[in-house]
Amino acid sequence: MTLRKVNISILVAAVVIFLLVLHHNFLGLSDLLKRELTDSNPLGLQPIDFIPAAPQRLTDERNDKEISVVIAASDERLGGAIAAMNSIYRNTRSSVVFYIVTLNDTVDHLRLWLRNTALKNLRYQILNFDPRVLEGKVQVDPQKADSIKPLTFARFYLPSFVPHAEKAIYVDDDVIVQDDILELYNTPLKPGHAAAFSDDCDSTTNKVAVRGAGNQYNYIGFLDYKKETIRKLAMKANTCSFNPGVFVANLTEWKLQNITKQLEKWMTLNVAEELYSRTLAGSITTPPLLIVFYKQHSSIDPLWNVRHLGTNASFSMKGSNAGKRYSPQFVKTAKLLHWNGHFKPWGRTASYAEVWEKWYVPDPTGKFSLIRRHPEAYEAK
């Protein structure tokens, strides 16, 4: 009997020691995870400013789904980003968090604009983009020091901006949203697809001829098929291209497939071999995306990227737009309007600039120059 008691005592002691060791290891693992979550990411992208939550009266009216929206904001185009965010925020009941990627010299201006206007209730995080990540990956013309805009490449690094999100939306700064962004966020992506884009051959854009742009809607308009490196990929030259100014990303797949590294690989190869078309039909960011996502992307509803509003527009001396590509009725039904091209709605010559102006929030510092062609757009504010 005494021996039995001794055995039970030894067993109890062993169980206690085991539990103590297990507890110690759990605490160590917890500390390790905390360190991993707080470590700087490889790009050195650090949050500069963050408003954690909207006022209670607003959250009560909105649904629970949190939507991550990434947008780049350069100082000379800051008004565009402001109008885009305002249009998204005012047209949804969802909880939207904006991840605003910018450069250090723009932060103070952006913060003042957000805090001292009707946008003060936005939930946002400002992230500084370090242009040094592009060294060796972008061809720089010594004669044109400002020819490369670093923030153009922000879309390549989405997981670094929203590391804990499973899904995110990227939008250019020259867009206006006229419907609930939740619908775009809910775009279904096929298994294995890391992103969904709007194809250039969709029903809303293939009727629009863009003069001087070459093969605007095909891969050959973006890539030099005379180069052996491109030919070896066996991509059909007449494959329909897509527009990277608006897309939905599955960040889990993006990380699993190492999309960012793939994009950087093709950027570096282009510097060495000049793989992009000499008559590039669109943005310098498009060719590597076309290669990486060749027949490996889903599609968004064409109405969520109604584009070419900033291409080849003309402006009459009387102040009315001529040569508009879409009817006013169609523009009203569009869910997202995109002024891609040289002519922006904050300038003189873009089509339907009056639609954009309804969402523009004037700069409290007066630094952003806007040509006010439609004063009535400000009277309702």
Task: Write down all domains in the chain, each with its CATH number in brackets.
Answer: 47-52+62-186+194-201+243-253+304-358 (3.90.550.10)
Two structure tokens written together for 122: 């936005």
pTM confidence score:
0.81
Average pLDDT over residues 275-301: 91
**pLDDT mean over 140-161:** 84
Inter-residue contact 140 to 110 (CB < 8 Å): no
Angle between helix 107-115 and helix 78-90 axes, rounded to 10 deg: 40
- Between CA 135 and CA 151 the distance in angstroms is 14
Q: Which helix (H) or strand (E) holds 322?
A: strand 321-322
* Other residues' Cβ atoms within 10 Å of the Cβ of residue 340: 21
Res 306 pLDDT > 90: yes
CB 290 within 8 A of CB 242: yes
Tokens 């003189």 map to which residue? 348
Strands 167-171 and 175-177: unpaired
Q: Average pLDDT for residues 259-264, to the nearest whole number?
A: 98
How high is the pLDDT of residue 217?
Answer: 84
Residue 11 pLDDT exceeds 50 = yes
Q: Which residues touch 278 (CB under 8 Å, ≥6 apart)?
A: 224
Q: How far apart are CA 104 and CA 48, in angstroms?
A: 9
- Confidence band for 178, pLDDT divided at 50, 70 and 90: very high
What does the alpha-carbon distance between residue 352 and residue 332 come to, in Å, rounded to a whole number? Answer: 11
State yes or no: pLDDT of 6 exceeds 70: no
**CB within 8 A of 127, min separation 6: which ones?**
45, 46, 47, 48, 99, 100, 101, 102, 161
Beta strands at 321-322 and 314-315: parallel, antiparallel or unpaired = antiparallel
Q: State yes or no: pLDDT of 231 exceeds 60.
A: yes
Q: Is 146 strand, coil or helix?
A: coil
Whole-angstrom distance, CA of residue 26 vs CA of residue 24: 5
pLDDT for residue 280:
75
Instruction: Kindly state the average pLDDT of the residues 160-186.
Output: 97
pLDDT score for 87: 98
Phi, psi of 255 (to 5 degrees): -70, -40
